[in-house]
Amino acid sequence: MGIVRILGFMLVVAGTVFLVSAYRATGSVSERAMETLTGRYTERTQRDLAIGGAGVVGGILLIAFGGGRRRR
């Protein structure tokens, strides 16, 4: 297993941690109040959801396509 795929696994794990923590934050009282008043989550929660999603997708792409065999 190449270093690129290992990096991909690490990125998936880190992205999942961001997604889970942001998802848990959406259930808090302050987030629900903000969503009720403005129709959206706070900037921090939106940022964490975006970072987590990008990390998971990027990690999956690195696992799938990274570290291919080189022809010599």
**Mean residue pLDDT across the chain:** 88
Q: What is the mean pLDDT of residues 13-19?
A: 95
Q: What is the per-residue pLDDT for 66?
A: 81
**Residue 61 resides in a domain:** yes
Q: What is the mean pLDDT of residues 22-35?
A: 87
End-to-end Cα separation, the chain, in angstroms = 19
Quickly state the pLDDT bin for 69 (edges 50, 70, 90).
Answer: low
Range of the domain at 20: 3-65
Domain count, the chain: 1
Assessment of whether the complete model's pTM goes beyond 0.85? no
**Residue 38 resides in a domain:** yes
CB contact at 8 A, 61 and 54: no
Q: How many CB atoms lie within 10 A of CB 36?
A: 8
- How far is C-alpha 29 from the geometric centre of its chain's CA atoms? 23
- Looking at per-residue pLDDT, the higher value among 34 and 55 belongs to 55
